[in-house]
Amino acid sequence: QRVVFSGIKPTGRLTLGNHLGALRRFADVQYTGRCVFSVVDLHALTVDHRPARLRALTRETATLYLAAGLDPDACVLFRQSDVPLHAELSFLLECTAYVGELNRMIQYKEKGRGRPGTRVSLLTYPVLMAADILAYRASEVPVGDDQRQHLELARDLAVRFNRAYGTVFVVPEMAPAQVAARVMNLQDPRRKMSKDDPDDAPGTIRLLDPPDVVRRKVMRAVTDSGTRVRYDLEGSPGVGNLIEILGGCVGEPDLESLADRYTSYGSLKRDVADAVIALLEPLQQRYADLADDPGTVEAILRKGAERAAELAAPTITAAKQAIGLAA
């Protein structure tokens, strides 16, 4: 059976990168197998955070899941902290993971290693992520390109645990997006577009940005000094990024031929702005309706948490048994 798991951590307002790399693709697979999607709020505690903002972002992210078209009758939607099994399994996997391999994680090196005030949980973060995935015996994990190394660790831990204690976990496959798996910042196309950018960052498109804001951000995107429109992420990263975004929005995987249709940066930018606005419009409409009704969103999350706990319980029981706990 196809089992899909993925999550988004509520550390900032979601961006176009989150949508093209992940969220939109959750909706695409939801009727094809068992699908479990979580707002992974425990992960948001690994960096400096404010409690009230975290709670608001968790609600906003869950509402965006629904606004993006996730159907709570077809998939399981829940808040990670409502299902304590994640933290429990994470500990068992910490006893399978090595300090050395966690120390080498790129995100840890960039965000915390060697800095005062780095939380222990930032180091162990990828183990909790592995627990999220392995708890459901997920076969497939739709994520953006930046999660590749974390996925690799989840696979390594599954294999290592299974070898040491007997087969408990399914080894998951990463399911990257065909195009726009790594959307870059419009002002600095060598850096990924991140929801943790400052709220008013001009190179970061948020899913809830009104159309005029989206248009302004796209029209001001940095390109380069050439004039030919071509798809070349190395030589022309700003233009390449716009073509990726356009391809992602309109569903055109052949980016070279997409680039060939343009003779000027101006017309490319206009089409990118139109395509992003058109993609976001129905989502924003649904978000506006749902935001008036937080009780419904909360009820969906609670029901989802019950179902998620039911699904994960047999795995954790088997893992405890295998590792030498329980009777």
320 is catalytic: no
**What Å distances lie between residue 279 and 16, 21, 245, CA to CA?**
10, 14, 11
**Count of residues engaged in binding ligand TYM, rule: CB under 6 A:** 26
Interface mask toward ligand TYM for 109-138; x: CB under 6 A: --------------------x--xx-----
Could you give the maximum distance between any two Cα atoms of the chain, in Å? Answer: 70
Helix (H) or strand (E) holding 141: strand 140-143
Q: Which is nearer to ligand TYM, 22 or 77 (CB)?
A: 22
Q: Which listed residue (109, 195, 269, 320) is catalytic?
A: 195
The DSSP call for residue 19 is: I
Interface with ligand TYM by CB under 6 A: which range of 18-26, 213-221, 253-261, 271-279? 18-26
269 is catalytic: no
195 is catalytic: yes
Spatial CA neighbour of 310 closest among 43, 34, 109: 34
48 known ligand binder: no
Helix (H) or strand (E) holding 143: strand 140-143
144 known ligand binder: yes
Residues 248-267 that bind ligand TYM (CB under 6 A): none
C-alpha–C-alpha distance, residues 238 and 203, integer Å: 11
Spatial CA neighbour of 62 closest among 10, 97, 27: 10
18 known ligand binder: yes
Whether 172 contacts 154, CB under 8 Å: yes
Q: Which is nearer to ligand TYM, 111 or 160 (CB)?
A: 111
Q: Which is nearer to ligand TYM, 92 or 141 (CB)?
A: 141
Interface mask toward ligand TYM for 37-76; x: CB under 6 A: ---x--x---------------------------------
Min separation Cβ 317 and ligand TYM, Å: 21
Spatial CA neighbour of 108 closest among 121, 95, 97: 121
Q: Which of 96, 147, 204, 241 binds ligand TYM (CB under 6 A)?
A: 147
The DSSP call for residue 15 is: B
Interface with ligand TYM by CB under 6 A: which range of 5-13, 111-119, 156-164, 199-207? 5-13
Q: Decide if residue 79 touches ligand TYM (CB under 6 A).
A: no
Residues 187-226 that bind ligand TYM (CB under 6 A): 192-193
C-alpha–C-alpha distance, residues 108 and 131, integer Å: 18
Q: Which is nearer to ligand TYM, 97 or 325 (CB)?
A: 97
Q: How many CB atoms lie within 10 A of CB 100?
A: 7
**What Å distances lie between residue 159 and 30, 129, 139, 152, 164, CA to CA?**
27, 15, 13, 11, 9
Q: Which of 34, 59, 155, 182 binds ligand TYM (CB under 6 A)?
A: 182
Q: What is the DSSP string of 33-76?
A: SEEEEEE-TGGGGGS---HHHHHHHHHHHHHHHHHTT--TTTSE
**Residues interacting with ligand TYM, by CB under 6 A?**
5-9, 17-18, 20-22, 40, 43, 129, 132-133, 141, 143-144, 146-147, 150, 181-183, 192-193
Binding site feature residues:
9-11, 17-18, 132, 144-146, 183
Known catalytic residues? 111, 192, 195
Binding site as annotated, residues for ATP: 9-11, 17-18, 144-146, 183
Annotated binding site for L-tryptophan: 132
